[in-house]
Structure 1
């Protein structure tokens, strides 16, 4: 199993960052160029048990995803934290679990994505893993920057 972690700080309140992630329309807003969401079937609001179906394009290749939200943990505790956890029921990856973690700090919010996954393609896919990891890292870097811009600029 592989793990990808990406963190960034957003100068916005925890509640605003968390609420942004509960709105499924924001998924398409934060996708990098070339990684568009072509078809999106989502609930009105993200909640535990919700299912999301989408067709995501990457480098001209359309990939079907079926994701279930395992948990929605609203802001709580001290320091204040929140999280969303989703797992792919069907995707290009044999296993894909994504934790969106948020922690309040100094008037802003630390946002961390932790993705546990098995690379597609089995042993053959493992040879291509460095390239796949780089693509995922670039995608999460873009998504974090875009989220920061939307929240900090109030767009």
Structure 2
């Protein structure tokens, strides 16, 4: 059983409160997801995040095949971190931790995603060719979109 990890950090020139307000609203996930993902929220995103919240989406992660993705927000500490876990969807395991930390002149956000692919050895063979590059592309898009929305962080 191979579990992969993807890590990402980004600094933005906004307050911790602004960052939390944006990321704790599940509807903003649409804004920071590439259009070619065919991302559409179906239900569960009508209020700010809370533990136990179940959110249903349609996504087209690979090869243009739409699928339902159901996540649960399992942990929330206000303005510190939250965790979303896939309940149904394209991965055998998806555990995504989002951390927020106030820094001089802004906020640092850190994502740690632990994931496992379905289909055993076939899934492992697809990882370096299709899955990992796609995830990196999605996170790169998000990084750029957040700079467009909030500006570029400049260290003091």
TM (normalized to structure 2)? 0.87
> Which of 1, 4, 16 is the matching residue for 1:2?
4
Identify the residue that residue 150 of structure 2 maps to in structure 1: 151
Alpha-carbon RMSD: 1.5
Moved more, 34-43 or 53-62: 34-43
- Report the alpha carbon displacement of residue 87 of structure 1 after superposing the two structures with TM: 0.4
Residues 1:12 and 2:10 are matched in the alignment: no
Query: Structure 2: how far apart are the matches of 1:95 and 1:67?
Result: 11
Residues paired across the two proteins, number: 147
Superposed displacement of residue 40, structure 1: 2.3
- Corresponding residue of 1:79: none
1:130 aligns with 2:128: yes
| C-alpha contact (below 8 Å) 1:50/1:69 kept by paired residues | yes
Give the whole-Å Cα distance in 2 for the aligned partners of 1:68 and 1:115: 14
By how many angstroms is 1:149 displaced?
A: 2.1
From 103, 106, 114, the equivalent of 2:104 is: 106
Give 1:102 deviation, angstroms: 1.1
Give ranges in structure 2 of 5+ residues lacking alignment: none
Q: Which has the higher strand share?
A: 1
State the Cα distance separating 1:39 from its structure 2 match.
4.1
2:5, 2:57 → 1: CA distance? Answer: 23
Normalising by the residue count of structure 1, what TM-score does the alignment of the two structures yield? 0.88
Aligned partner (choices 21, 39, 52) of residue 49 of structure 1: 52
Moved over 6 A (4+): none
Distance in 1, matches of 2:41 and 2:10, equals 28
For residues 69 and 39 of structure 1, the distance between their equivalents in structure 2, rounded to whole angstroms, comes to 15
Per the TM alignment, residue 151 of structure 1 is displaced from its structure 2 partner at its CA by 2.8
Given that 2:38 and 2:66 are in contact with CA atoms closer than 8 Å, whether structure 1 keeps it comes out as: no
